[in-house]
Amino acid sequence: MNKPFTVALAPDSVCQPPSRTDIYVDRSFRFLARVGAIAILTLVVALVLEIGGKAVPGIQKYGFDFISGVVWDANTHRFGILPAIWGTLYSALMALLIGGFFGVSMAIFLTQDFLPPRLSAVFRIIIELLAAIPSVVYGLWGIFVVIPAILPLADWLNATLGAIPFFASTLSGPGLLPAALVLAIMILPTIAAVAQDALRAVPLKTKQAAYGMGATHWEAILRVMVPSAATGIFGALVLGLGRALGETMALAMLVGNSNQISLSLFSPANTLAALLALNFPEAGPNEVEVLMYAALVLMAITLVVNIAGSLLMSYAQRGNK
């Protein structure tokens, strides 16, 4: 095996054939790398099995009623998570509406030559800092800044527009709106970052062509750039939604933890993640199985959304090439 190399090598060459140790090290190194890759797969499988497996008794006992039920009462062993699913989706969609608008505007603002590079770097850092602040700090801030700030506005909206179902109740501290607002701020950086990448990926020629045809700055943005980057921007929104669905601490601190289904933005609500955070530490065996069932539902929802998001992203990347 070594012979052809030795023949080809000059005595003073830096090139050397692999020694026996080199080959041995190489084999074990490659083996270890493969183990690393397998470990990730195993982790995902273990997560699904661990949570799914522990949920099986709950699924057998409560079946689909668990998802459509509206009562959570450990005393009478009636468990239903429809209010929590509703709260999870409602708060996440509200957050997406607000965070999506600001996130995409921010991405346009930063990529479409509105600012000198230095200033746009400042804004970019601001967004990245928003992403770096821990969830629990947002929760604290929400309790002491957001809720007192929106209380008068909520009272006014309820008094004047109370007939509209969105404003049908008064805000009494924690509730859906403060939770959704804070959630919107938390997903804004994700959306802004991914949407920026999507907009930057549009070839310069496309924009130049639009200008060449006499489009104004905004016509070029709204009719050419945004549609060209649409798949990527949509992917950004879906990933933001995925993040909003799984967010735990800020919501557990702000949402009010009340099992009810209401359209009103000012009502207290509940979410799956908050339900888990608050009930898991005290769950007996009967409750662990239903909480594992709830965890499975949460995992399923976030998985579907996140996979959809990453598929969209890879589709968008392929489209640009």
Query: Is residue 41 involved in binding other proteins (CB under 8 A)?
Result: yes
Quick one: tokens of 270?
A: 């509940």
The token duo for 220 is 């070029």
The one-character DSSP state at 275 is H
Map the footprint of other proteins across residues 217-256, applying CB under 8 A: 217-219, 222, 239, 242-243, 245-249, 253, 256
Stretch that binds other proteins, among 11-19, 58-66, 196-204, 226-234 (CB under 8 A): 11-19
* Contact by Cβ (8 Å): 277, 163: no
- Is residue 257 a contact point for other proteins (CB under 8 A)? yes
Considering only CA atoms, which of 89, 90, 91, 309 is closest in space to residue 190? 309
Residues 15-34 that bind other proteins (CB under 8 A): 15-18, 22-23, 25-26, 29-30, 32-34
CB of 4 to other proteins, least distance (A): 11
Burial class (CB in 10 A: 0-12, 13-18, 19+), 120: middle
Our finding on whether 91 is near other proteins (CB under 8 A) is no
- Report, in Å, the least distance between residue 319 CB and other proteins: 19
> In angstroms, what is the minimal distance from the CB of 207 to other proteins?
13
Tell me 79's DSSP state: E
Residue list 298-317, contact with other proteins (CB under 8 A): 298-299, 302-303, 305-307, 309-310
76 near other proteins, rule: CB under 8 A: yes
Interacting span for other proteins (CB under 8 A) from 50-58, 89-97, 196-204, 223-231? 50-58
Closest CA to 91 of 279, 294, 206, 241: 241
Give the distance from CA 56 to its chain's centroid.
Answer: 27
Interface with other proteins, residue 206, by CB under 8 A: no
Q: Is 7 in the site for other proteins (CB under 8 A)?
A: no
Closer residue to other proteins in complex, CB, 63/148: 148
> Do 263 and 15 meet the contact criterion of CB atoms below 8 Å apart?
no
109 binds other proteins (CB under 8 A): yes
Task: Tell me the H-state helices in the chain.
Answer: 3-8, 20-62, 65-68, 82-111, 117-132, 135-141, 147-161, 176-200, 204-212, 217-219, 226-228, 230-246, 249-254, 272-279, 285-320
| Residue ranges in 122-151 that form contacts with other proteins under rule CB under 8 A | 123, 126-130, 132-141, 143-145, 147
Helix (H, G, I), strand (E, B) or coil at 45: helix
Contact segment (CB under 8 A) with other proteins among 56-64, 199-207, 228-236, 280-288 equals: 280-288
Q: Which stretch binds other proteins (CB under 8 A): 60-68, 89-97, 195-203, 205-213?
A: 205-213
Q: What is the DSSP string of 218-258?
A: HHIIIIIIHHHTHHHHHHHHHHHHHHHHH--HHHHHHS---
267 contributes a contact to other proteins by CB under 8 A: yes
Residue from 56, 60, 77, 105 touching other proteins (CB under 8 A): that is 105
Complex with other proteins: residue 66 or 266, whichever CB lies closer: 266
Q: List binders of other proteins among 171-200 (CB under 8 A).
A: 172-175, 185, 188
Binding segment (CB under 8 A) for other proteins, from list 60-68, 167-175, 200-208, 224-232: 167-175
Q: Is 71 exposed, middle or buried (0-12, 13-18, 19+ CB in 10 A)?
A: exposed
Q: Are 275 and 288 in contact (CB under 8 A)?
A: no
